[in-house]
Structure 1
Amino acid sequence: MTLGAFEAGEPVLLIDRKNRRYLVDLAAGREFHTHTGVVDHDDIIGAPEGTRLKSSRGAAFLALRPTLADAVLKMPRGAQVVYPKDTGAILVLADIYPGARVLEAGVGSGALSMSLLRAGAVVYGYERREDFCARARANVERFCGPEALERYRTEIRDVYEGVDETGLDRMVLDLPEPWRVVPHA
């Protein structure tokens, strides 16, 4: 992700004085509307992170890049997500490390996938539902960048029927009956 000035097409987190957080995708010529006024995207594009803005009604906002936790809590979802407090435990207890080859079964909206990728893993995602798989890939691209898709391979399939990948280092199973996958591990 970019570390300089904000660019069109990237997500920005706008935080108001009451600490309400709004996740907005920047686009030239667009506006963000809230009950406290309008913020022009063009006032954010090209500005550095940490810029303070005022809406058309004088409300103050702070513009930041969303953290991974912000992304998970605010991202579009179709399925229930693994929340940041649980993700941390999963990453540590599963000993996820850079380069680890991880099978994730039940990718849902991609929240855990994003954390696995951020930790440097290569993720093989199995998901039964095509709409969830598409949502997960879109969220990974939006919040981790298109380069993350090079380490994120998803398939629409049922992990209970078997695992084709070999040489896996870890399996993370967000499923109702994970024990049914053990014979395939």
Structure 2
Amino acid sequence: MREGRASITAGGRAWTTLAPMSEPTGAARRRGPFQVGDQVQLTDPKGRHYTFTLEAGKSFHTHKGAFPHDELIGAPEGTVVRTTGNVAYLALRPLLPDYVLSMPRGAAVVYPKDAGQILAMADIFPGARVVEAGVGSGSLSTFLLRAVGDQGMLHSYERRADFAEIAQGNVERYFGGPHPAWRLTVGDLQDNLSDTEVDRVILDMLAPWECLEAVSKALVPGGILCAYVATTTQLARTVESIREHGTFNEPAAWETMVRTWHVEGLAVRPDHRMIGHTGFLLTARRLADGVEPPMRRRRPAKGAYGEDYSGPGSGSGRG
């Protein structure tokens, strides 16, 4: 790793310290003039997006004409190009939220609104050791790798080899090659998890409650389990299973919705469409070994564990 000198000033005093100079994986593809191999996102006058990869000698074609890729190679981001039909397109690199929504899919992607919540509420930090189960198309894996950085670790587990192959292609296309912090295993997490001293575990799968024992053994005390589930029945069973397991604190559960607004002069109103329910998120923290979670003071709602309840703990006499 190359080192350079960084000047620091505080309290009227100045000194020099060594700072790492090498760029994190993929950083060079996020700044500077457009290069061959870069992803480019074009925006037309109606706000529609078109994404392609720059190749020397190739042309981009639309029903409004074409223009050569060479016109963008070496040009700065924010350049406007015109087709042979004299239609102007704004050229920028796609942001990560744009990329994951347009990349090839095997399974449904984790939407940016949920990925952002996972990064924040699961407290994914640079250098973190993270385990992920359920890779899908690689959307969340890409967000997680950007957060943990080259010095972190992301070990992803995916049951389906075809999904894993698509996810690997999407992740490597975004970073420009293999990421040094990523390891991808094809198989079930509960059967293959060998990682220890893990800081965070993210479960995007059908039955996360089946993995609690393996996850509990892998997480460090204070580590965070975060689960992403689609239905209320999955949410309820996961939460109750975490409570019953006894090695986690009281889980928190929520969902997020995003509504954009139309702003034009005095016409300020919410848009007619919004990104509503995509899934539920929940988090819980690993307790120290041998510690029992404190009893909850809040009493369950009347009937919450009545005769019709058949989930975890249904035979424990709760009511």
The TM-score bracket by the shorter chain reads over 0.9
Q: Work out which of the residue numbers 64, 73, 87 in structure 1 matches 2:115.
A: 87
Unaligned runs of 5+ in 1: none
Q: Distance in 1 between matches of 2:111 and 2:175?
A: 17
Equivalent residue, structure 2, for 1:48: 76
Equivalent residue, structure 2, for 1:141: 172
Q: Bigger relative contact order, structure 1 or 2, given CA contacts below 8 A and separation 6+? A: 1
Equivalent residue, structure 2, for 1:28: 56
Equivalent residue, structure 2, for 1:122: 153
Whether the aligned pair in 2 keeps the contact of 1:122 and 1:151 (CA below 8 Å) is yes
Q: Distance in 1 between matches of 2:107 and 2:191?
A: 22
Equivalent residue, structure 2, for 1:163: 193
Runs of 4+ in 1 over 4 A off after TM superposition: none
**Higher helix fraction: Structure 1 or Structure 2?**
1
Q: Distance in 1 between matches of 2:185 and 2:117?
A: 26
DSSP-derived class of the 2:157 partner: strand
Equivalent residue, structure 2, for 1:172: 202
DSSP-derived class of the 1:32 partner: strand
- Farther off after superposition, 108-117 or 128-137: 128-137
Q: Distance in 2 between matches of 1:144 and 1:91?
A: 19
User: Does residue 99 of structure 2 align to residue 68 of structure 1?
Assistant: no
Q: Distance in 2 between matches of 1:85 and 1:174?
A: 15
Equivalent residue, structure 1, for 2:222: none
Q: Distance in 2 between matches of 1:145 and 1:123?
A: 17
- Farther off after superposition, 36-45 or 168-177: 36-45
Q: Distance in 1 between matches of 2:65 and 2:162?
A: 35
- Tell me the CA shift for residue 39 of structure 1: 2.4
Q: Distance in 2 between matches of 1:62 and 1:122?
A: 37
Structure 1 residue identity aligned to 2:155: Y
DSSP-derived class of the 1:112 partner: helix
CA deviations on 1:14-56 (whole Å, 9 max, x unpaired) are 1111111111011111122211111211111111111110011
Q: Distance in 1 between matches of 2:123 and 2:176?
A: 24
Structure 1 residue identity aligned to 2:163: F
Q: Distance in 1 between matches of 2:134 and 2:67?
A: 38
Q: Distance in 2 between matches of 1:8 and 1:178?
A: 42
Q: Distance in 2 between matches of 1:10 and 1:62?
A: 15
- Identical-pair percentage: 50
Aligned positions, number: 184
Q: Distance in 1 between matches of 2:103 and 2:115?
A: 16
1:3-18 matches, cutoff 5 A? 3-18=31-46
Equivalent residue, structure 1, for 2:180: 150
Give the TM-score, by structure 2 length.
0.56
Equivalent residue, structure 2, for 1:19: 47
Q: Work out which of the residue numbers 105, 108, 124 in structure 2 matches 1:96.
A: 124
- Farther off after superposition, 81-90 or 119-128: 119-128
- Tell me the CA shift for residue 162 of structure 1: 4.1
DSSP-derived class of the 1:5 partner: coil
Unaligned runs of 5+ in 2: 1-27, 216-319
CA deviations on 1:144-181 (whole Å, 9 max, x unpaired) are 332x6111110111113241111211110100001111
- Tell me the CA shift for residue 76 of structure 1: 1.1
Structure 2 residue identity aligned to 1:175: M
- Cα RMSD after superposing both structures: 1.2
Give the TM-score, by structure 1 length.
0.95
DSSP-derived class of the 1:119 partner: helix
DSSP-derived class of the 2:180 partner: helix
